Amino acid sequence: MELRQQTSLTRTCYGVDHQLEACPMNRGIFITGTDTGVGKTVVSAALTIGLQRQGRHVGVMKPIETGISASNVMRSDAARLRNLTASEIPIEEISPYRFTLPLAPLAAAQAERRVIDPGKIRKAYRLLAGQSDYMVVEGAGGVFVPIAPRIDVADLIARLRLPVVIVGRSGLGGINHARLTIEALHRRNIRIIALVLNQTVPVRTKTARVQEQTTVDLLQRTAGVPVLGPLPYQSDVTQRFKHTVTRMAQSEIIKNLTQLVLGIDGESH
């Protein structure tokens, strides 16, 4: 489906209608992870709500999503993000590439004999960005996940020219994954706004608490970027997604993240 071209001569910039040429350049953020299943969608959703509470008209995008069939598309990450914006934009525009098999994007595309075109994603992003003040784009997996031959997620981020928020695990193993991701992005000269640590499993034992605290402490000293968190484990996030992320958006962690994101180019309130 072709993306709808914007036909109005005005657009809403921070709650006020302006002529298109009078609008500031759209701003956006790319949410990536140190791995799959680390909480990118939860952080993307909570940040979307946080930005909305700061008066921003937020657009969302999940360019590539796997493990999505025709019967469960409305339960996809892209659909969850779209529902937070009360948008009527078709899901095909928010998520240009969806694949049935729960594989890495390149493998999922090859299984369906399709090719992911970063140029198509960039075009989709620019058209969606023209209808919002701020874009939140959620990636797939980590930065080295291939999406096409010789093209990975980091390449896509560079082509979109977006700064990054990294989401990582707060427990054992989180240090190495986070620092590798940070180094990979620095090598591509991609700006990192923050590392957000998330509890992907309940922290129930004394050993687990020590592991988490030392992970957080060491990353705060060695990461070289702002480190936020950990966000608490959310057992009901799948069943009560909107309620959970709305509550999370009220936390100091997401409020601080929102201010860091809005601080890009001196835009913070």
* C-beta of residue 54 within 8 angstroms of C-beta of residue 262: yes
Please return the burial class of 159, using the count of CB atoms within 10 Å of its CB with bins 0-12, 13-18 and 19+. Answer: middle
Q: Cis before residue 230, ω within 30 degrees of 0?
A: yes
**Catalytic machinery residues:** 62
Token couple for 48: 């979307």
